[in-house]
Amino acid sequence: MTTIINVPPSLDDQSFEQIFAQVALLPPEEKILLDARRTRWASPFGFTALLSLAQTRLERPGLTVPEAEDTASYWSKASFFTYADSLYDISGRVPRRSKSENSVLLEVTPINGTEDVHTVVDNIQHRAQAILHEKLNLEASVTMRFTMVLSEICQNVIEHAGYGGWVSVHAYKFQQRLGRWVVVIAVCDAGMGFRKSLEQSQGARASDVWDDGKALEETVIKGATRFRDPGRGQGLAGVRKFTGKWDGMMSVRSGTARIAIVPEWGQGVPLGEGLPFFPGAQVQITIPERIGLP
Amino acid sequence: MISHIDVSTVLRRSVCDLYSNLVTRPTGAAVRIGIEHHLDEIGDKALAVLDFSHVGLLDFSCADEIVAKLLLQYVSLDLPRREVYFVFYGMSESHMDAIEAVLERHDLALVTQLEGGVVQLVGNVDGDQRRAWDTIGRLGIAHASDVADATGMPHELAARMLETLWQRRLVIRQESGYIAIRSGYAGRVPPAAMFNATAAGTPGRGMEVS
């Protein structure tokens, strides 16, 4: 039996919760088919989370391609199908991948090792500089700091997931919520997640307050890691600092919880718990176009 | 002895010919080991100029592996590896973001020199240490009494501050006095010439380490 999972028309970190909710009810061996025929748009989070989702299934899942040609074409340009092809049984017409759009700063890219982080950093610098400066009104020097943030989040996958992950970066106009351009980094994996990662060094905690939410607070806010090295934990701290300085939003979902740094323009709560379970960690950073001085 | 180490060259030799960015911990560890091998060959007392001019990006993890872990070996109060002083040369603003974060985390400080020649003390340094360091920088070479006279600090405090700065490898200690650390890269005096020039050093320019 195959269970149909409906993909929302607009697929981002918020609407992806609908998919998590549907999948969390199913055993991993159950065959699923993600029906994206009516999907018109997907964010970097949507792309990377779809790929991570396929990696959690024991039975190779199916995926139907969006019917709207421009949508399917955009997914191709974002390199989504390049990797989805090896994880999903794809039905529907997949457009040939043509030259990438300017808004795609970084196509979907696998993160499996250190060399992948170097590739990501090398690939994004030139394109990021133009977009950050022209669309987001950020100084050229911000590009380096932005790339540092990207590097640290990617390394988080290698060091803590115990499993490969995916990264993608796009810029687009965030019309509904903000009316401004934003650049969005999404990094998703289906690995062990923050709670299990911390338990590797500190052991499982019997306390009833030890859960995914607490693990996220420890790591994202307090900089805890499973390593004894006192130099560890600076990466996410640096990401938080950069995000705050540029009025950005950062959210990290792991297991059944999501922690977020929410600016005035953002939506969401600082800590959401009791979410449908999904393994690994899913990180999103959103930096908005600057209006006036930071 | 003074040794110039181009960090981007170490990166390419130690990790990959094609890389120009210092990102990830394994990359940082490999570069640090490459620098350590170089330092092992330059004697027990030396000034190493770590040149970041050709490094693109330096992330927090790499800064921790290269800068913090390197300094920690040479500023240990118990058993420093050898008497090696460092000047971090050619740092960009974004390099400094990463470096300042790791210095704060480990309670370290270092001397940077910009391409224009300006020397700065960066990291965790208290007010008296900074005053003493600034004074040595102006005088070039000085004893505690000189620093006390110039700043109005009690002699005992000035002596303690200079000793602390030396232990942190932020000034050089010689029989002739405490000496400011400079690379000599100000477009005025080539470092090798400067370090071979005089035993006493030239105020504001740098010093031989003998």
A107 and A87 together in one domain: no
**Gap between the Cα atoms of B188 and B205, Å rounded:** 9
User: Nearest CA of chain B to the CA of A39: how many Å?
Assistant: 37
Q: Determine the residue of chain B that is closest to A158 in CA distance.
A: B24
Tell me which of B75 and A248 has the higher pLDDT.
A248
Q: pLDDT by residue (tens digit) across B108-146?
A: 999 999 777 789 999 999 999 999 999 999 999 999 999
A70 and A120 together in one domain: no
A108 and A74 together in one domain: no
Number of cross-chain residue pairs from A and B with Cβ atoms under 8 Å apart: 78
- Taking an 8 Å Cβ-Cβ cutoff, which residues of chain A contact chain B? 114-115, 117-118, 121-122, 125, 141, 144-145, 147-148, 151-152, 155, 158-159, 230-232, 234-235, 237-238
CB–CB contact B92 A144 (8 Å): yes
Contacts of A151 in chain B (CB under 8 A): 23-24, 57, 59, 61
Q: Is residue A196 part of a domain?
A: yes
A162 and A199 together in one domain: yes
Q: Is residue A212 part of a domain?
A: yes
Q: Is residue A259 part of a domain?
A: yes
Contacts of A158 in chain B (CB under 8 A): 24
Q: Is residue A290 part of a domain?
A: yes
State the average pLDDT over residues A144-165.
Answer: 88
**Domain final residue pick, A93, A123, A158:** A93
A35 and A66 together in one domain: yes
A109 and A83 together in one domain: no
Res. A197 pLDDT band, cuts 50 70 90: confident
Res. A290 pLDDT band, cuts 50 70 90: confident
A155 and A77 together in one domain: no
CB–CB contact A234 B102 (8 Å): yes
Tell me which of A213 and A293 has the higher pLDDT.
A213
Q: Is residue A98 part of a domain?
A: no
- Is A232 a residue whose pLDDT tops 90? no
A245 and A187 together in one domain: yes
For residue A23, give the CATH number of its domain: 3.30.750.24
For A141, the closest of B16, B20, B93 (CB atoms) is B93
- Is A140 a residue whose pLDDT tops 70? yes
- Look up the ipTM and state it: 0.83
Interface test with B, best of A148, A160, A239 (most B CBs within 10 A): A148
Q: Which domain holds residue A244?
A: 103-294
A85 and A59 together in one domain: yes
For residue A239, give the CATH number of its domain: 3.30.565
Percent of chain B with pLDDT over 90: 64
Q: Is residue A251 part of a domain?
A: yes
CB–CB contact B16 A118 (8 Å): yes
A76 and A156 together in one domain: no
The confidence score (pLDDT) of residue A158 equals 86
CB–CB contact A118 B21 (8 Å): yes
What is the overall mean pLDDT for chain A?
90
The phi and psi torsions of A177 (rounded to 5 degrees) equal -90, -25
Q: pLDDT by residue (tens digit) across A74-89?
A: 999 999 999 999 999 9
- Sequential pLDDT tens for chain B (210 residues): 788 999 999 999 888 777 889 999 999 999 999 999 999 888 788 899 999 999 999 999 999 999 999 999 888 666 666 889 999 999 998 899 999 999 999 999 999 997 777 899 999 999 999 999 999 999 999 999 999 999 999 999 999 999 999 999 999 999 899 998 876 554 333 344 334 333 223 333 333 333
HEC secondary structure over A232-289? CCHHHHHHHHHHHHCCCEEEEEEECEEEEECCCCCCCCCEECCCCCEEEEEEEEEEEC
**Domain final residue pick, A46, A74, A93:** A93
Q: Determine the residue of chain B that is closest to A145 in CA distance.
A: B94
Q: Is B25 on the interface with A (CB under 8 A)?
A: yes
**Domain final residue pick, A93, A126, A158:** A93
The confidence score (pLDDT) of residue B199 equals 27
Neighbours of A115 (CB within 10 A): 14
The confidence score (pLDDT) of residue A135 equals 84
**Gap between the Cα atoms of A78 and A99, Å rounded:** 10
Answer whether A110's CB lies under 8 Å from A116's CB: yes
Q: What is the pTM of this model?
A: 0.86
* Number of domain units in chain A: 2
The phi and psi torsions of B46 (rounded to 5 degrees) equal -155, 160
For residue A35, the number of C-alpha atoms closer than 13 Å in the C-beta half-sphere is 7
A294 and A163 together in one domain: yes
The confidence score (pLDDT) of residue A203 equals 61
A184 and A73 together in one domain: no
